[in-house]
Structure 1
């Protein structure tokens, strides 16, 4: 208004009978603007209080229009969309099989699968959000973002501005909790690859099946695919990154020709298949050992204890009594349960990988297979290169020296 007034342009409000060129009119406008701002602030505060109350009651409010895998029924409850749920399962499966965020996105684009927003391009950030979204295990973290300015409606990530609420089993899950926790561990592992004696940080690569899982038995660093130029002909080899960057004075481990590395991996796989029924028996014994270590009973006990403590806390809160000591106990129990859940997910994942390997042996026993990137991603955990041999570790926990 003042900018228009400076240019000698008046604005006349007919309903309020205010002219901005009049000194009295400007005073009235200022007062009315102040009242409108107060009203907006009051309304914003009431909305916030309403949301806080809903969150405290564990009522989940989700915008399902851009939420792949779910829609809402007539009562406003989240229900699974089976076709979209298969896409979510595919993303989780491919990530655990070694695919990168970019690789998963390209695969979805190639198959003509659209994002939740209906766009053809899958960004790595979109794939990662799906992998980290707790709603796919039937839970919901409420108040992830907050409005910091009621006038501009600017929202930011909630980093302690307001309390957050975690609601368990609020709707039907698409991804098992164990699988979700395995994915979180894998995300952390890929973000924190430190190798070699100096614990150098390395970038995860999924370009080749053996990238980021082939290690030097001498210094512990990763092996990288590179090539030698021999009389104008490229020959692909795998070399220790420490030796490449710092020379043979720091690491003397050998360079391995690609066909020899692939051959060692396939020798281990074919040996596994040649073991046939004996190998299956050994793996089944491993499953029984894993089952014996389950933490299910301990988790159940903690859940019962949490329920009791939470009821006590509500009673004290309703009476206006101090409940801080109970809140601390509940936090400690939740931390213990989280540790046990991660441990249980690890055991469950190990069990699943052993079962997958048993099925693989049953289908292929006594056959001789050739190198295949997809197969290696699925069953090989790591390859360690020594001066005169390799150690091939399978995801089931079995190791072979070749």
Structure 2
């Protein structure tokens, strides 16, 4: 694709990156075949190729409009198109750049600004989100369905292991997960404890930065990244082997720290090292597979439907690892039809684009339920909450399944 970027962007780091991405696109349209919003709406401008044209026009100096903004807002940033693209177009990075420029040019209505500002100022702050979620859970039966969908029933976190181990890894506590599903972190810690690894939570680490960054507050998102790097760095210097992610949405963001902070002289090298150390749980546990299977004393008699989050299979390009761990433990793991498609959660998307989000959720649940599972398992808090809001079948993080099996085996 030939480009002629406008003066306001062409000599900036973002402009040079956008230009390189645009030049890779060959207009083939393979991306439209796997784009969830294109499949629902059938509009070229609601598919990756059409959105690339819109962003190209803005980057070349054409004034953005509210219509441009709408089509970019409808994008889930699922990055399914990246997996499909034969030319390696890094659409996710391009849309982050394009959305920010469009938002700078097109003032949003007051109602949109209030919702978006509330999300980016409340969700990343545990001091605000935790009491709000606790209150919501207390009055959950009285909430309207739209709010109830976002407030999971209160969950017991269980005990955090206290054994000291020579092997140590960091665990990102996260911002919303400790309040919405606290057992995920404690289950992860218990599984690693059983395998002789101590997980450490750095107290000053918090939101990975994805919420603010993907709501076009790039400075705020990168400030979150810097805070986490500062919190983790002493543990890295002390020999922490990895930074463990059990929320794939956080994992894809932290793995991008090196890229996002590449031009920050004070943080570039540290950010690169943090990104290298960051691993999804499913990337680590295969190394312990033999020990894990011995401790499980046989098979887990469960039939589960596995929903791979987009941030895992497309963002991090991790496929097959969760299924491998579970199947080795004897779990009957089923992948549903169109398992590559997004469930509609997509961070804050289910709040900002509820109609499309719930269509995608219902389509995904129909496919998952068709496998006749005892349980649905996934790997991201947003997916878990979103899917559970539409079904009575239990929806859990896959690490909780491993944890419960280990506790049964040792109990």
For the aligned pair, the TM-score class normalised by the smaller chain equals under 0.3
TM-score, length-normalised on structure 1? 0.24
Structure with the largest fraction of strand: 1
| Structure whose alpha-carbon radius of gyration is higher | 1
